A and B are shown apart, each in its own frame.
Chain A
Amino acid sequence: MASISLKKIVKQYGQQAATIPGLDLEIRDGEFMVLVGPSGCGKSTTLRMIAGLESVSDGELRIGERLVNDVAAGERNIAMVFQSYALYPHMTVFENMAFGLRVRKTPDAKVREQVEATARALGLEPLLQRKPGELSGGQRQRVALGRALVRNPDVFLFDEPLSNLDAELRTQMRAEIARLHRTQGTTSVYVTHDQVEAMTLGDRIAIMNGGRLMQVGTPAELYSAPDNTFVAQFMGSPPMNIFSGQRDGTRLRTAFFEIELPTATAAALPTELQVGLRPECLSTTGTAATLNGRVEMIECLGHEGLAYLAAGDTQLRAKLAMEQLPQTGTDAVLRFNPADLYFFDTNGERIAATSVEPAGTALETAGA
């Protein structure tokens, strides 16, 4: 059990510009922290630095109270589940799980006891004498988990552990990992590029981009209060619609609509800005504001569907109930609550404290 603390962590290869120019992150004891971001954002590097597989170029890395910058990976009491599982192909499942214990010179009886207990918990008992080559993907994943669990480490690290599984197994294993964390309560750091995994597993999520931390928070915080367009678009599926807008006095004009802003809100906004609106906040009913666009395409997802609207060069997606979906090629009028609008400056940073009170008079949009 341990917390993890990253202070001004820098990773630099050779003389090149730093891959991670300075990262601060506190992971609490027992917390399930998900590192998420597009590929190349530095999330794996961060994880490998925590693991001790990459050296830390600068800054302080602590596990619990201990400064571990120069502590070898094997001495950090951390277990890691690799994307490729990294099982030892020449050893049986039992030997795979026992390896770490044996390296620590654990007595044989104890090794057996611990491995068998873990195998029982994961349903691996019938597989103990097989070699990894004889297992299915899901089984291998389970063995990798078992190998990490058996040592009872302070911290679990997961490096995209589910990305090699098919959709169904992935859901199943995701639930398993969540269950394990609930029962064990071990501090976990989980790297993924899949936001659904991030949302479902993480106590908190750290979103990274280009080696920098974009925002850290609970899934709900990140969804409801994104700090910037990157986070806003990263969380949620389909991502938040972002389009440019112009404020002229208290009027906000975009390609799709024009509304009157409350004065207090208007005062906080610049004249050039970006407006965000989640696809799921649009509907054909209700009394709120309306927006117009030409329907370019329809996607059916079963009980609901997506409508792709265009106004000039600007596009927008709306998630609607099936019966509300408009016809392709028609002009559609959709309704939304101005309170659901997010405002960002032109750099993509959220403009703080800007929610739109229901203005009462929703103005007709100027014809598209």
Chain B
Amino acid sequence: MTILNWLRGLFILVMVAIVLYPVLWVVSLAFSGGQSLALVSVPEGASFFEALRALLPLPQQWSLANFEGLLTEQPFGRWLLNSLIIAAATTIVGVLLACSAAYALSRFRFPGRERGLMLLLVSQMFPATLMLIPLYVIIVEWLQLGNTWLGLIAVYSITALPFCVWMLKGYFDSLPVDIEEAALMEGASPVAIFWRIALPLAKPAIAVTALFSFLTAWNEFILASIFMDEEALYTVPVGLRFFVSDFSAQWGYFAAGSVLVSLPVVILFLGLQRFLVSGLSAGAVKG
């Protein structure tokens, strides 16, 4: 028993170390003030422990220069705000659409339901890079939504849909039907049941899908830079990519930006973590 517990502890420790190591490189690069990407130099004639020390992702000197450069050279704060607004709106729209569609797919029997479910999966199977031009045509030429947040929000919330609907449908399937039947008996309309009974009960799954929609919008780069024709409208990932050009890259700035960009996400994960476990899995399980 105790040996097993020891092994378990060791396993967890090793995994935490493996997970943290590259992350710490990002952090260390961000705070190093320099620009070189994860290169290790073991000093000559170093003892085992000195060598080990050199392998730890600690910058030689601590400096906020990368953060300063990042925030002063570009309107990074502005972009951060843009991203926040777009990601928040994407989350709201995406979750609303996903919830209502998933609820219908779970609770109502209607023609095309099963084929619809299959199509959701199919949509995940085609590489996104080839959809660039048609998306440009639809959003910019037909809908005239180029250079607006609305265009991006529409694309992001829809592209996040298949996964969200898939998740949520599984979760709704796992909720006991009789609670909704009770509400039905009491004269509540399907819409009222959806809003007042089903949605509050699906909170964990909604948290997961919200997170997923948020991440989709938060990290996307190529569409944002193609649709937007004003620097003031760019999102953070677009801003970050300025530090990577054809011949050279300012990895230090990039890492500092990544740290800033990851912070809200990590905070979101922290806040939602109690929902993550149940929200992700309960979907598949019947009570």
* Residues of chain A at the chain B interface (Cβ within 8 Å): 51-53, 72-75, 78-80, 82-84, 86-90, 99-100, 103-104, 147, 151
Q: Give the docked Cα–Cα distance between A99 and B185 (Å).
A: 11
Which of B178, B187, B189 has the most A CB atoms < 10 Å from its CB? B187
With beta carbons under 8 angstroms apart, the residue of A74, A88, A151 that contacts B197 is A88
Residues of A within 8 A of B192 (CB): 103
Tell whether A74 pairs with B188 under 8 Å between CB atoms, given A88-B197, A89-B201, A90-B201: yes
User: In the complex, which residues of chain B have a beta carbon less than 8 angstroms from the beta carbon of A103?
Assistant: 183, 186-188, 192
Contact pick for B184, options A73, A89, A104, CB 8 Å? A73
Q: Min CB distance, B124 to chain A, in Å?
A: 31
Q: Number of A-B pairs whose CB atoms are under 8 Å? A: 61
Is A82's CB under 8 angstroms from B181's CB?
yes
Residue among B184, B185, B186, B188 with the most chain A CB within 10 A? B185
Please tell me the number of chain B residues within 8 Å of chain A, measured between CB atoms: 17
B175 and chain A: residue at smallest CB distance: A89
CB <8 Å contact, B178 and A74: no
Contact partner of B179 (CB less than 8 A), chosen from A51, A52, A73, A88, is A88
B178: A residues at CB distance < 8 A: 82-84, 86
- Interface membership of chain B positions 177-219, coded 1 if the CB is closer than 8 angstroms to chain A and 0 otherwise: 0110111111111001000110011000000000000000000
For this complex, 17 residue pairs linking A to B, each with C-beta atoms less than 8 Å apart, are A51-B181, A53-B181, A74-B187, A74-B188, A75-B187, A79-B185, A80-B181, A80-B185, A82-B181, A82-B182, A86-B178, A87-B182, A89-B179, A99-B196, A147-B182, A147-B186, A151-B186
Residue contact B185 to A53, C-beta cutoff 8 Å: yes
Question: CA–CA, A73 to B178, complex, Å?
Answer: 13
A51 contacts which chain B residues (CB < 8 A)?
181, 185
Chain A residues touching B, majority SS = loop
Which B residues are within 8 Å of any A CB, using their own CB? 176, 178-179, 181-189, 192, 196-197, 200-201
From residue A201, how far is it (CB to closest CB) to chain B in Å?
21
Contacts of B184 in A (CB 8 A): 52-53, 72-74
Chain B residues with CB under 8 Å of A74's CB are 184-189
Pair B188/A99 contact, Cβ less than 8 Å: yes
Q: Given A51-B181, A86-B182, A87-B179, 7 more contacts at CB 8 Å?
A: A72-B184, A74-B186, A80-B181, A82-B178, A86-B181, A90-B201, A103-B183
